[in-house]
């Protein structure tokens, strides 16, 4: 659970505490996620899911964060925070985490599954009937799709796609032309399932599977008739996959991105995974082929891609090994029998997802689409997922003659292709599609509905801390805010016009927008509270976010804490602020909540004596969010609704005694466990119980 401190900086600020390293803090977050796979109070299939989540997170980490460290190592240069030393320290931490994953997989999870009658059967453990079935499956389903490539001057090493499964084979003897080319590569098509369930007739009353890699391994000899397979190993290479497109140098961003996606699968290699038993000869051959140093090699005791084991969760019909189903409540502030527009004239609506259903947001859009008085709908799209509901509603709005404007962020990482498809579909039906501002990602989540009411036009708006994605809305905690507040909706209109025309943004009355005001206003709020605390007044900051890596905001918080501001930070992932360091950050506590749902709400609370302010936001406190993205933060001014957010999003999490971790002065996280007679409190479990008191799912003891 260690976040490694950065090397001391040679500058005048020697009295300042060193900030924690962002990449190591990210790995510490994944260690906290992995703890859910360790916990025996978590259902078995869910433990496997958390193991797979960590693997997925690490894949993305390598794809996005590893390349600068590797490049500095290869060039033997010191480039900013990247160096040979940074690469080696990061590689050591990654190896420890990966080793922990596979130790847990082999020593705890697989034996636990076997005790439940569920097993992935290795070749040496298969009965004669099972081997016969596997042989037939190989001949019928796999062999026709496999083309082994023997390497020679006319058959160079083939292009190996990012994160694809492959085998390398060393052969003895001569080929059909009398040559001794000894290395061959077998590329495994991605369309093939990684787990195959054995039929009941050969499963001996159990739920048995074979892995695709095991099936291929046992039949490699069948692919090389007349040759002897002397050595072999599965392998997978991870490549740098962060798309870099110079927006100012392209005529059509959508076309440039689509072309870039073709090359993403074949970027620079950053990690090589092989079987634990892979020979030094083969591993050295692969390292040389991919131009990687030895520390980029990961020998694993199991499948090289644990992410694909999520198939096991889908293939096993054992509800008793999963979390109890949770059905979100319909938003409590919404009356299903009344027009949302009429309800909003009385009060704003807050929806706390996933405890309350995203259906409330869909209903807002649905009523706007079907209301003949609604003239225009404007919306931002960052990630929509595969659920078609929102796209279907926007399509229907166009069909009904409404003006539909959608700002689609094409550069949403790893969702580029899906968003390009969304943009093309919307353009094809007549919607106005915009791509935001050159050089900035539009990460703000907002929808604006313009409705004719009598002789005037009235605006209604939706803003959210999360995406317009019905699937993740069931898995992520977020706040949706639907409002008829004239000042807020007028600000939203200004933002949409700015994104469309790129004209100067008018002064906004309530919204804070990045890259213009958000960073400056946050720094100012923190500074003002610091001055108040220094003068002896009561001052408090509580901020909840996904990541805290912006150095200006971190230094500002440290200064405010020194002046007496009491600061609590609820940061799910990477946090570079060193908490509880004597003489520096005594007044700052940092905790991370890892639960059944992914914590995603961004809530910023500032109190000066009895004056309270609370903002919701789409932005984390990261430099990219402050200066390279279009982000929004907006105030919740209704005292009752503000208190609701304080209670549910802040207080509940500050008192969590089940799923919370606290950052110590030594840079490590320790799990918070309530000791004594009082029952432990888990924030997410309490919120599920509050919104669905008759259906309280398992959340851990």
What are 582-638's pLDDT values in tens digits?
999 999 999 999 999 999 999 999 999 999 999 999 999 999 999 999 999 999 999
Q: Mean pLDDT, to the nearest integer, of 299-310?
A: 94
518 vs 439, residue with greater confidence: 518
Please give the CATH topology (third level) of the domain spanning 514-691.
Endonuclease; Chain A (3.30.870)
Whether omega before 69 lies within 30 degrees of 0, making that bond cis, reads no
Nearest partner of 374 among 460, 484, 434, judged by Cα: 460
The dihedral formed by the CA atoms of 391, 397, 399 and 401, expressed in degrees to the nearest 10: -150
Contacts of 59 (CB under 8 A, 6+ apart): 163, 238, 307
Confidence of residue 11 (pLDDT cuts 50, 70, 90): very low
How many whole angstroms separate alpha carbon 199 and alpha carbon 537? 72
Burial of 340 (0-12, 13-18, 19+ CB in 10 A): buried
Confidence of residue 1 (pLDDT cuts 50, 70, 90): very low
For residue 346, is pLDDT > 70?
Answer: yes
For residue 489, is pLDDT > 90?
Answer: yes
Please give the CATH topology (third level) of the domain spanning 340-508.
Endonuclease; Chain A (3.30.870)
Contact indicator for 214, 275 with CB cutoff of 8 Å: no
Residue 3 pLDDT: 38
How many whole angstroms separate alpha carbon 503 and alpha carbon 494? 10
Confidence of residue 177 (pLDDT cuts 50, 70, 90): low
Q: Do domains 22-38+44-321 and 514-691 have the same CATH topology?
A: no
| String of DSSP letters for 224-282 | STTSEEEEEEEEEEEE-------GGG-S-HHHHHHHHHHHHTTS-EEEEEEETT--HHH
Residue 678 pLDDT: 61
Query: How many residues would you count in the chain?
Result: 701
106-110, 325-329, 576-580, 672-676: range with lowest mean pLDDT: 672-676
Burial of 277 (0-12, 13-18, 19+ CB in 10 A): exposed
60-74, 186-200, 385-399, 466-480: range with lowest mean pLDDT: 385-399
pTM: 0.91
What are 250-276's pLDDT values in tens digits?
445 556 545 555 555 668 999 999 999
Residue 290 pLDDT: 96
For residue 696, is pLDDT > 70?
Answer: no
Contacts of 49 (CB under 8 A, 6+ apart): 310, 313
| String of DSSP letters for 471-526 | TGGGTEEEEEEEE--HHHHHHHHHHHHHHHH-PPPPPPSS-EEETTTHHHHHHHHH
The dihedral formed by the CA atoms of 325, 329, 330 and 331, expressed in degrees to the nearest 10: -140
Pairing of strands 539-545, 403-408: unpaired
Helices (H) and strands (E) in the chain, counts: 21, 27
- Report residue 319 as tokens: 């509800």
Q: Mean pLDDT, to the nearest integer, of 98-117?
A: 98
How many whole angstroms separate alpha carbon 438 and alpha carbon 273? 38
Residue 697 pLDDT: 44
Residue 10 pLDDT: 37
Beta-strand ranges (E) seen in 411-455 are: 432-434, 441-442, 446-453
Confidence of residue 698 (pLDDT cuts 50, 70, 90): very low
How many whole angstroms separate alpha carbon 70 and alpha carbon 599? 31
What are 538-570's pLDDT values in tens digits?
999 999 999 999 999 999 999 999 999 999 999
The dihedral formed by the CA atoms of 539, 584, 29 and 387, expressed in degrees to the nearest 10: 30
Residue 419 pLDDT: 65
- CA distances from residue 358 to 110, 282, 404, 683 in whole angstroms, order as listed: 36, 51, 21, 20
Residue 397 pLDDT: 95
Residue 16 pLDDT: 81
Q: Mean pLDDT, to the nearest integer, of 74-84?
A: 89
How many whole angstroms separate alpha carbon 441 and alpha carbon 630? 6
- Report residue 77 as tokens: 């240069």
Confidence of residue 425 (pLDDT cuts 50, 70, 90): confident
Q: Mean pLDDT, to the nearest integer, of 94-108?
A: 98
Residue 155 pLDDT: 76
Q: To the nearest 5 percent, what fractions of the chain are helix, strand and coil?
A: 40, 25, 40
Confidence of residue 695 (pLDDT cuts 50, 70, 90): very low
Average pLDDT, the chain: 90
For residue 651, is pLDDT > 60?
Answer: yes
- CA distances from residue 579 to 11, 20, 280, 477, 605 in whole angstroms, order as listed: 22, 10, 44, 25, 19
Confidence of residue 430 (pLDDT cuts 50, 70, 90): confident
Contact indicator for 198, 130 with CB cutoff of 8 Å: yes
Residue 442 pLDDT: 87
Confidence of residue 475 (pLDDT cuts 50, 70, 90): very high
Q: Specify the DSSP class assigned to residue 306.
A: G
Residue 393 pLDDT: 94
SS3 85: helix
Which residue has tokens 């401190």? Answer: 5
Confidence of residue 12 (pLDDT cuts 50, 70, 90): very low
Residue 687 pLDDT: 96
What are 435-447's pLDDT values in tens digits?
877 778 889 999 9
For residue 178, is pLDDT > 90?
Answer: no
Residue 255 pLDDT: 61
Instruction: Output phi, psi for 564, to 5 deg.
Output: 115, 0
Pairing of strands 118-120, 207-211: parallel
Residue 700 pLDDT: 38
Per domain, the residue ranges of the chain are 22-38+44-321, 340-508, 514-691
How many whole angstroms separate alpha carbon 21 and alpha carbon 559? 20
For residue 420, is pLDDT > 50?
Answer: yes
% of the chain exceeding 70 in pLDDT: 90
% of the chain exceeding 90 in pLDDT: 77
For residue 681, is pLDDT > 90?
Answer: no
For residue 153, is pLDDT > 90?
Answer: no
Residue 230 pLDDT: 93
Instruction: Output phi, psi for 384, to 5 deg.
Output: -110, -20
Q: Show which residues are catalytic.
A: 443
Residue 485 pLDDT: 97
| C-beta atoms surrounding 466 within 10 Å | 24
SS3 691: helix
Q: Which CATH number fits domain 22-38+44-321: 3.40.50.300, 3.40.640.10, 3.30.1840.10, 3.30.590.10?
A: 3.30.1840.10
How many whole angstroms separate alpha carbon 186 and alpha carbon 96? 30
SS3 580: coil
């Amino acid at each position: 659970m260690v976040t490694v401190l950065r090397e001391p900086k040679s500058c005048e600020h020697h009295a300042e505490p060193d900030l924690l390293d962002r990449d190591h803090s990210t790995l510490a977050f994944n260690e906290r996620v992995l703890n859910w796979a360790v916990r025996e109070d978590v259902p078995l299939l869910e433990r496997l899911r958390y193991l797979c989540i960590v693997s997925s997170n690490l894949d993305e980490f390598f794809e996005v964060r590893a390349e600068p460290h590797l490049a500095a190592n290869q060039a033997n240069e010191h480039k900013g925070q990247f160096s040979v030393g940074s690469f080696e320290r990061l590689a050591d931490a990654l190896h420890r985490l990966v080793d922990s994953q596979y130790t847990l997989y082999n020593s705890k999870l697989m034996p636990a599954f076997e005790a439940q009658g569920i097993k992935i059967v290795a070749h040496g453990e298969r009965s004669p009937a099972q081997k016969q079935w596997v042989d037939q499956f190989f001949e019928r389903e796999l062999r026709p799709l496999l083309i082994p490539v023997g390497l020679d001057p006319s058959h160079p090493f083939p292009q190996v796609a990012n994160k694809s499964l492959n085998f390398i084979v060393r052969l003895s003897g001569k080929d059909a032309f009398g040559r001794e080319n000894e290395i061959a590569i077998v590329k495994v098509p991605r369309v093939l399932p990684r787990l195959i369930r054995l039929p009941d007739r050969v499963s001996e009353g159990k739920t048995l599977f074979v892995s695709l890699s095991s099936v291929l391994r046992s039949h490699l000899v069948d692919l090389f008739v007349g040759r002897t397979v002397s050595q072999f190993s599965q392998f997978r290479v991870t490549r740098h996959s962060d798309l870099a497109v110079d927006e100012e140098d392209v005529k059509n961003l959508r076309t440039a991105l689509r072309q870039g996606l073709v090359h993403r699968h074949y970027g620079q290699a950053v990690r090589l995974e092989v079987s634990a038993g892979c020979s030094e000869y083969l591993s050295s051959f692969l390292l040389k082929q991919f131009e990687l140093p030895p520390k980029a090699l990961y020998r694993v005791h199991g499948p090289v891609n644990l992410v694909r084991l999520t198939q096991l969760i889908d293939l096993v019909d054992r509800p008793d090994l999963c979390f109890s189903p949770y059905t979100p409540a319909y938003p409590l502030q919404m009356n299903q029998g009344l027009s949302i527009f009429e309800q909003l004239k009385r009060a704003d609506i807050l929806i706390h997802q996933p405890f309350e259903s995203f259906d409330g947001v869909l209903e807002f859009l649905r009523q706007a689409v079907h209301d003949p008085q609604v003239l225009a709908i404007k919306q931002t799209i960052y990630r929509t997922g595969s659920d078609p509901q929102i796209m279907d509603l926007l399509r229907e709005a166009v069909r009904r003659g409404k003006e539909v404007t959608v700002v689609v962020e094409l550069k949403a990482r790893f969702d580029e292709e899906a968003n390009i498809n969304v943009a093309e579909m919307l353009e094809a039906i007549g919607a106005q599609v915009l791509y935001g501002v050159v050089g900035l990602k539009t990460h703000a989540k907002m929808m604006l509905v313009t409705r004719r009411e009598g002789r005037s036009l009235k605006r209604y708006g939706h803003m959210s801390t999360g995406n317009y994605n019905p699937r993740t809305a069931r898995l992520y905690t977020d706040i949706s805010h639907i409002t008829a507040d004239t000042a807020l909706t007028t600000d939203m209109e200004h933002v949409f016009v700015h994104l469309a025309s790129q004209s100067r943004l008018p002064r906004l009355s309530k919204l804070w927008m990045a890259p213009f005001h958000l960073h400056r206003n946050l720094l100012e709020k923190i500074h003002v509270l610091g001055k108040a605390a220094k003068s002896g007044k009561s001052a408090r900051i509580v901020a909840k976010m996904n990541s805290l890596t912006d150095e200006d905001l971190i230094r500002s918080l440290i200064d405010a804490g020194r002046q007496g501001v009491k600061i609590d930070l609820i940061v799910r992932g990477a946090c570079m602020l060193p908490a509880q360091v004597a003489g520096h950050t005594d007044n700052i506590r940092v905790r991370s909540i890892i639960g059944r749902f992914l914590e995603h709400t961004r809530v910023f609370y500032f109190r000066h004596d009895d004056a309270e302010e609370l903002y919701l936001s789409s932005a984390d406190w990261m430099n990219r969010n402050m200066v390279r993205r279009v982000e929004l933060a907006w105030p919740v001014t209704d005292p009752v609704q503000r208190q609701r957010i304080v209670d549910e999003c802040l207080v509940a999490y500050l008192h969590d005694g089940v799923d919370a971790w606290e950052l110590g002065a030594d840079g490590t996280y320790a799990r918070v466990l309530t000791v004594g007679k009082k029952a432990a409190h888990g924030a997410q479990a309490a919120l599920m119980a509050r919104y669905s008191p008759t259906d309280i799912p398992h959340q851990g003891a």
